[in-house]
Amino acid sequence: MVPSILFEIMLIGLLGIGSQWLSWRYRMPAIVVMSVAGLLVGPIFGLMNPEEDFGDVYNPIITVAVAIILFEGSLNLSFKELRGLGKPVFRISTVGAFIAWILGSLTAHYIAGLSWTVAFVIGGLFIVTGPTVILPLLRQSKLKPRPAKILKWEGIIVDPIGALLAVFAFEIIAYFTANNPDGSALILFFAASIFAAILGWACGRGIGWMFETGNIPEYLKSPAVFVVVILCFTIADEIMHETGLLAVTAMGMTLANMGISSVADMRHFKENMSMLLISAIFIMLTASLQVEVLLEIFQPEIIGYVLLMMFIVRPLSIFLSTLGTDLSLNEKLLVGWIAPRGIVALTVSSYFASILSDAGYEDASIITTLTFGLVFFTVVAHGFSIRWMAKKLHLSMEGRPGTIIVGSNEFTVELAKSLTKVKAPVIIVDSSWERLRKTREAGIPFYHGEMLSEQTEYHLDTTPYEYLIAATDFHSYNALVCTTFMPEYGRTNVYKASPYTLVDNMNDVVDKIGGKIIFKDDMSMEDLSSKITSGYVFRQTTITDQYNYNRYLSERDEETVLLYMLKPSGKMYYYSEDLKITPEAGDIVVSLAPPSKEYKKIQEKLVNQRNNL
C-alpha cells in the first residue's frame, strides 16, 4: 500500500496524466491506458484502494467530479451545431434510448439471469455512454463532423436520461410489487425531475445574466461557475438521487445557447479541468475494484450479455431509431458500433447495487461485476476499433494534416496550390470577396467570412485542419487570430507572417505575441508576395542518401525560401526559425525558389519585345 493519502493523490494524478500522455504519444485510446493503469496499481499489485483509503469522501468526490465533467460537456451543446442533425440526434436520444432500454433489460433477464426488477434497472443505466469516454475517443479518432457530433450529443444528453431511467424503473417496479401501492413516490420522482431541469435552467440564466451585466469580475468567473455547478447538482441530488445530472446538463446547455463571450473564454480552462478529472476518476474507479470482481467478469453469462449488448442491442436500437432520417448506411454502422460505457455507469451502478440489495434482491450483487465487464470490454473494443472502422467506412479525416490560411493574396494562393498538389487539405479564409477572387479563379477551397466571428465556428468545418497560418497584410490582426486559436490548435501549429521588412531594425522590436513567425523572421508578407510577382516558383526536392539535406542546403540558391517538409508517414512541418527537425532520406522539402536561367531569358525576351513595339 502507498505510505499516505497525500502520496496516493499524487500517484492518481501522475498515472492519469501519464496515461493521457502515453495515449497521445503512441496513438492509443486514452481510456484503455487509464483503465489498465488503474487495474495495475489497484487489484493486481495492491498498491492502493481509493474507495477504502478515502472512506466516506470517496463517493462525494466521484459524484461531484462527474457533475463537473457532464456540465463541461453540455457547455458545448449549442443548438447551432444541430443544423441538419436535429432529427437523428433527437431520435437516437429518445426512441433509440427507449429501444436500447427494453432490449438491454430483456438481455439482462434471459442471458445474465437477473430478476426483472434488477434487469430493468440496469437496462436503463446501460444506455449511457457519456462525455468521459466519448469525448476522448472523438479527440483521437478524427471522425468527420456528422458522426462526431451525433456521438457527442448522444453521449452528453443520454447520460442523465440513463440514470433517470434506472431510478424510474426501480420506482415503477417498487410501486407495482408493493403490498399497499403508494403513488406518492412516483409523483415525487417526476416532480423532482422537472424541478431539476428548471433549477439547471435558472442557474444557467442567472450566472449568464451576471456575466453579461458585469456583476462578476473576470478573475472570479471560472470559480463562480464551478461553485454554481456544485450548488445546482447538490440541491437537485439531495431532493432525488441522480436528478443532479439532469440539472447540470440543463445548466450547461442553457449557458451554451446564450451566446455569452465569457463562456467561450473559459472553455479551454474548463476542458483542462475536465481532462484532469476524467483521468483521476478512471484511475480511482479501476483501482478500487476487487480481484473477485475481475475474475467474475469471465463467467459465460456475463460474457454472453456483453457480446449481445455490443453486437445486437446497440446496432439494432440505432438502426430502428434512425429509420427515415438522412443518415447514410456507413454513418449508422459507425454510430451503431461505438457505445463505450464509462464513469456514470460505474458510479451509479454501485448506488443501485446497494439499494437493490437492501430491498432484498440477491442477484443485485452481480451488478458491479456486470457493469465493469461491459465498461472494460466496450472501452477496449471501441477504443481500438474506432479509427480503423471510421477509415474503412470513409468517415475519418485521414491523410496529411490540413491547413487553414487566413488571408487571400498572391503568395497564399500559390502556397495553397502547392499544398493541393501534395494532397494536403487547405482552405483560404477571407472576409473580402474581392480579395478571394484569385483564390476562386485558382479553384482553391475558400470560406468567405470573418475568421474571428462566432458564425465561422458553426459554418466552417475545421476537422481536417491541424495548422493555421495568419497571412493577411495587417500584422496586428494576424497576431489576434493566432492568439485566439492557439488553445485549439496548439502553440506549435499556429503561425503568422512576419511583421518585419528587410529595412526594419530587428534588434529594436521583438514580436512574440500570437503565434510563431513562419518561414523566416525577416521575410514579411510583402516580401513573399513580391517574390511571386517576380516569377519565383514552388519546388519539391526529395532528400536521398546520395543527395542529403546538407548538400541540398549548400547547393540551393541563397534567395530560396524553405516553406515546409513532408514525411513519408504523412506528417508535415512548416519551417520557422526554431524548427528543430532535420529532413532525412525520403522526406520532401518544398521551397519558394528563384526562377531558372531559362525562365529569366524568356522574361528578358518578352521585355525586349514590349520595348520594340
Q: Sort strands 561-566 and 588-593 into parallel, antiparallel or unpaired.
A: antiparallel
pLDDT at 140 over 80: no
d(CA 155, CA 175): 30
pLDDT at 503 over 60: no
Strands (E), 148-251: none
pLDDT score recorded for residue 200: 93
pLDDT score recorded for residue 329: 92
Q: List pLDDT tens digits, range 59-90.
A: 888 888 878 877 877 776 677 666 666 788 88
Q: List pLDDT tens digits, range 251-307.
A: 988 888 887 766 666 666 666 777 788 788 888 888 888 888 778 888 898 999 999
Q: List pLDDT tens digits, range 375-429.
A: 888 888 888 888 889 888 888 776 678 899 999 988 899 999 999 988 888 999 9
Superfamily for domain range 402-612: NAD(P)-binding Rossmann-like Domain (3.40.50.720)
3-class SS at 576? strand
Q: List pLDDT tens digits, range 24-45.
A: 777 776 777 888 898 899 888 8
Q: DSSP assignment of 450-513, as one string? A: -TTSHHHHHHS--TTEEEEEE-SS-HHHHHHHHHHHHHHH-GGGEEE-BS--TTS-TTT----S
Q: Which CATH number fits domain 59-392: 1.20.1600.10, 1.10.10.10, 3.30.70.1880, 1.20.1530.20?
A: 1.20.1530.20
Q: List pLDDT tens digits, range 186-204.
A: 788 789 889 999 999 999 9
> What mean pLDDT, rounded, does the chain reach?
82
Query: Would you give the distance in Å from CA 454 to the centre of its chain?
Result: 19
For 570, residues 6+ apart whose C-beta sits below 8 A from its C-beta are 399, 400, 401
**Contact predicate 268/487, CB 8 Å:** yes
pLDDT at 160 over 80: no
Q: List pLDDT tens digits, range 521-566.
A: 778 888 888 888 888 888 888 888 888 888 888 888 888 888 898 8
| CA 41-44-48 angle, 5° bins | 40
pLDDT score recorded for residue 428: 92
pLDDT score recorded for residue 507: 41
Q: Sort strands 426-430 and 561-566 into parallel, antiparallel or unpaired.
A: unpaired
pLDDT score recorded for residue 181: 65
* Top mean-pLDDT range of 124-138, 214-228, 493-507, 511-525: 214-228
pLDDT at 174 over 80: no
pLDDT score recorded for residue 12: 92
Domain boundaries, the chain: 59-392, 402-612
d(CA 348, CA 162): 10
3-state helix, strand, coil in the chain (%, to 5): 65, 10, 25
pLDDT score recorded for residue 104: 92
* Entry field: residues in the chain: 613
pLDDT at 505 over 50: no
Q: List pLDDT tens digits, range 201-257.
A: 999 999 989 888 888 888 888 888 889 999 999 999 898 877 888 898 889 888 888
* Top mean-pLDDT range of 288-292, 357-361, 478-482: 478-482
% residues pLDDT > 70 (the chain): 86
Q: How far is the first Cα of the chain from the last one, in angstroms, to the nearest whole number?
A: 93
Q: Sort strands 465-470 and 402-406 into parallel, antiparallel or unpaired.
A: parallel
